[in-house]
Amino acid sequence: MSCFEKCFHIYVLIIGIGFFTNLAHADLFKTNLGISNWSGDTTLKGFKNEDTEKFRNHNKKQMLDYEKEHDIKLFNVVDDNTRYGKTAFFVQAPSKGCFNRYEHDCQRKMGEQQKRVEAHYSAFNGGEHWFTVSIKFDNWALNRNEMIVTQFHSDVSQYQNMLSLKIDNEEGLFLEHQSANGFQFVEGGSEECAGGAADVLTEDKMYCPKLKDIYKVLPSSKFERNVWYDFVYHLNFDKNNPDHEFIKLWLNGELVVNNQGQGKTLWWPTMPGIEEWENKITFHFGIYGSKKDNAFHSAYFDEVHKSNSCENLKLERLGYNCKNLNNQTQIIKPTRHDAPDL
């Protein structure tokens, strides 16, 4: 064997060891969620890793203790089931035990218990943003309890999320736009108004959505497990000019949500008592919902990309192109509205 051949084989071996080591040790608490930039993988693209803007997760000890006790990996990087490229994220969310922040999710003041295995990216400013995320629902029983698989939130803990992609047995996949019609102020606060954290003081729970806009994305009758669903978001956040804000969402290349020009709020306004610098935008993907169903949920997430333009998403790898997406301009109004029960 020549020197060149020996060196080449050693190089391949090193690359292979590095790649599989990356798989073995990837989790929510590593830089870029454990995806190596040098690998050229497409699983995660366009996200920063800076002090002010990066993936952050706050329940590390709780989750790692749970994984060790129950011999399970709740958030992992795998190479055996991908939408495109070398790897994907595999997320598992049991309904027994606590693997979240205790006060925030496992023991809320209203007695509600939540399970949450989410990647949490914060915090970025407004303007136009494009996102893609591909999801394959694995072990997934549809029931009456809603589960969130992506959401856009404010960094302000008193606010509920602005936008969330949910799934249940009645409506299938649907987009809930909580910030659509602005806030209603509840004097003294209400448990229904908070963003969910139990340790937020009741008097801070004063900002409730007025009326939520609900968009049907995929009816439950057409929902399938173990197939990839490709979601593309085009969002414009502009709290100074809410009339300019909009939401567009495509599922597998078909426009399913478009409220452009409808005067709907997207970015929560900065309310009295809230600092302007606090009110930035966060993006989450994973599994988040109630434990009431007593069910085990798992799903794959891949091609999670963020960009300021459609072209930079390089959608051709998924079988789509920006021209076809942007040529779909029809306004799609909400399927229904929902008001909080105060």
CA dihedral sign of residues 23, 26, 27, 28: negative
Residue 217 lies in a domain: yes
State the chain's maximal CA–CA distance in angstroms: 80
Residue 128 lies in a domain: yes
Q: Which residues of the chain have pLDDT under 50?
A: 4-26, 198
What CATH number is associated with residue 317? 2.60.120.200
Residue 240 lies in a domain: yes
Residue 187 lies in a domain: yes
Looking at residue 25, its pLDDT comes to 43
Burial environment of residue 62 by CB neighbours within 10 A (0 to 12, 13 to 18, 19 or more):
middle
Report the alpha-carbon distance of residue 114 to residue 215 in Å, rounded.
Answer: 24
Looking at residue 89, its pLDDT comes to 95
Q: Write out pLDDT tens, residues 58-111.
A: 778 888 889 999 999 999 999 999 999 999 999 999 988 788 765 567 766 556
Residue 67 lies in a domain: no
Q: Write out pLDDT tens, residues 295-320.
A: 899 999 999 999 999 999 999 999 99
Looking at residue 156, its pLDDT comes to 85
Chain centroid to CA 323: how far? 26
Residue 134 lies in a domain: yes
Residue 63 lies in a domain: no
Total residues found in the chain within this entry? 342
Residue 26 lies in a domain: no
Looking at residue 185, its pLDDT comes to 82
Domain count, the chain: 1
Q: Is the peptide bond before 88 cis (omega within 30 degrees of 0)?
A: no
Residue 312: name the closest of 151, 152, 129, 133 by CA: 129
User: Under 8 Å CB-to-CB from 334, ≥6 apart: which residues?
Assistant: 177, 180, 213, 214, 215, 259
Looking at residue 101, its pLDDT comes to 66
Domain residues for 123? 44-56+94-338
Looking at residue 102, its pLDDT comes to 57
Looking at residue 112, its pLDDT comes to 67
